[in-house]
Amino acid sequence: MSALQNIETQKSYKYLQEVEKVAQDILTAKDNKLQLANAQNKLREAFRALEQTEDRNTLIKVGYVYVEMPTEECKAKLKQEIAEIEEEIDKLHKTVKENTFKLRDLEHEPRLEGFSLKPMSVAEAKALHKGFGLL
């Protein structure tokens, strides 16, 4: 085997390793998003159950221990955890987008059209309606 073939083989292996690493990062992030979404749904269910209860105190599990706390404090903690999970899901979503762009660049594929679109804000929508005379 000549030195040139050996260098080309090494470049090919390095390229394949990089592509596989980025693809694995995408799959891992998607799996984490799914797990976080399931946890968020369970927290929402718990929050709804607390909204329907009239008890002043509620048992909440902290680690391996159940602690009795005021219901309103439990609701606040659940809201906070739901918001934290939402932020983490958004971070993972951005990571998936970036890695998808990187993977397509590595594979010499064109960028996906419309993949990086962002929704209009309320102010932009109102300005648009006002501009078209819909308000």
- The tens digit of pLDDT for each residue in 64-96 reads 999 999 999 999 999 999 999 999 999 999 999
- Quick one: average pLDDT of 109-134? 84
Under 8 Å between Cβ of 78 and 46: yes
- Within a domain: residue 74? no
Task: Establish if 64 belongs to a structural domain.
Answer: no
Mean pLDDT to the nearest integer, 29-58: 94
Range of the domain at 92: 3-54+82-131
Residue 106 lies in a domain: yes
Residue 127, pLDDT above cutoff 80: yes
What's the chain's average pLDDT?
A: 90
Question: Residues 6 or more apart from 86 whose CB is under 8 A from it?
Answer: 40
pLDDT tens by residue, 89-100: 999 999 999 999
CA distance 22 to 17: 9
- In total, how many domains does the chain have? 1
In angstroms, the CA 60 to CA 11 distance is 55
